[in-house]
Amino acid sequence: MYFQNVKNTTVDDIKFTLSHNIIECNFFNKLKKYLNDKQIEKIKILTIDRSKEKKQIYLSQFYNKILNHSKNLLIFKSLDKMDNALIGDKTLFSNHALNIFEKHIFTKLKKIDHNLYLYQRNLIKYVKKNILKK
The dihedrals phi and psi of 20, each to the nearest 5 degrees, come to -65, -20
Query: Are residues 43 and 54 both part of a single domain?
Result: no
Query: Are residues 43 and 60 both part of a single domain?
Result: no
Of 92, 108, 64, whose CA–CA distance to 121 is shortest? 108
pLDDT per residue over 78-133, tens digit each?
998 888 777 755 556 778 888 899 999 999 999 999 999 999 999 889 888 887 77
CB 21 within 8 A of CB 44: no
Of 132, 66, 59, whose CA–CA distance to 99 is shortest? 59
- Structural domain boundaries enclosing 25: 8-47
- 42 vs 19 pLDDT, higher one: 42
Tally the domains of the chain: 2
Is 24 inside a domain boundary?
yes
Query: Are residues 61 and 78 both part of a single domain?
Result: yes
Query: Are residues 38 and 54 both part of a single domain?
Result: no
Q: How far is CA 22 from CA 8, 34, 35, 126, in A?
A: 24, 12, 11, 31
Query: Are residues 130 and 64 both part of a single domain?
Result: yes
pLDDT per residue over 68-89, tens digit each?
999 999 999 999 888 877 775 5
CA 108/CA 62 separation, integer angstroms: 12
